[in-house]
C-alpha cells in the first residue's frame, strides 16, 4: 500500500509486468510504453534484490519462506490465478472505488494473494 500511495501518481502503480500487459490488452495503457515500463520494472526488481542482499546476510539455514513443493503445473496454475485476480481488480477498480480507498483494495488483494500462493 505504501508504494501505491507514494508513487502511484507517477506510474499508475504499475509494479508488475503482468499488470502493464493486462492494461495494454484492455486498451487502458498505450502499447508503445509497455517495453519501457517492463524494463523499468525489471530493473527495479533487480535493484531491490541487490539492496536486500547487501543489507541482510541470508544463508540457506536462515531462510524462512515458501519453497516450491509441487509440480510446475500447479505453480503455473497458482500464478495464473493470483495474477488474474489482481488484474481483474485493477481493471474494475476505477469504477468501484473512489480516490484514496483504491490503495487499500490493492494492498488487501496483494496480501490475500500472498496468503493463498506464498
Instruction: Provide the terminal-to-terminal Cα distance of the chain, rounded to the nearest Å.
Output: 18
Distance (Å, whole) CA 56 – CA 45: 16
Distance (Å, whole) CA 88 – CA 103: 15
Residues 5-59 have pLDDT tens digits of: 777 667 677 788 888 898 899 888 899 999 999 999 999 999 998 998 899 877 7
Domain positions in the chain are: 2-117
pTM surpassing 0.75?
A: no
Domain 2-117 matching CATH 1.20.1080.10: the answer reads yes
Q: Residue 30: what pLDDT?
A: 93
Mean pLDDT of 111-118: 80
Is the model's pLDDT at 65 over the cut of 70?
A: no
Q: 51-55, 69-73, 94-98: which has the highest mean pLDDT?
A: 51-55
Rounded percentage of the chain residues whose pLDDT exceeds 70:
79
Determine if residue 59 is left, alpha or beta; phi over 0 gives left, psi from -120 to 50 gives alpha, anything else beta: beta
Amino acid at each position: 500500500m505504501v508504494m501505491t500511495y507514494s508513487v502511484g501518481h507517477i506510474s499508475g502503480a504499475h509494479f508488475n509486468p503482468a499488470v502493464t500487459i493486462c492494461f495494454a490488452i484492455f486498451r487502458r495503457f498505450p502499447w508503445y510504453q509497455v517495453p519501457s515500463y517492463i524494463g523499468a520494472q525489471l530493473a527495479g526488481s533487480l535493484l531491490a534484490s541487490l539492496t536486500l542482499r547487501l543489507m541482510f546476510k541470508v544463508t540457506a539455514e536462515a531462510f524462512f519462506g515458501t519453497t516450491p513443493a509441487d509440480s510446475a503445473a500447479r505453480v503455473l496454475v497458482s500464478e495464473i490465478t493470483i495474477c488474474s485476480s489482481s488484474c481483474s481488480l485493477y481493471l474494475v477498480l476505477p469504477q468501484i472505488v473512489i480516490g484514496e480507498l483504491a490503495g487499500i483494495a490493492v494492498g488487501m488483494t496483494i496480501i490475500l494473494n500472498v496468503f493463498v500462493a506464498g
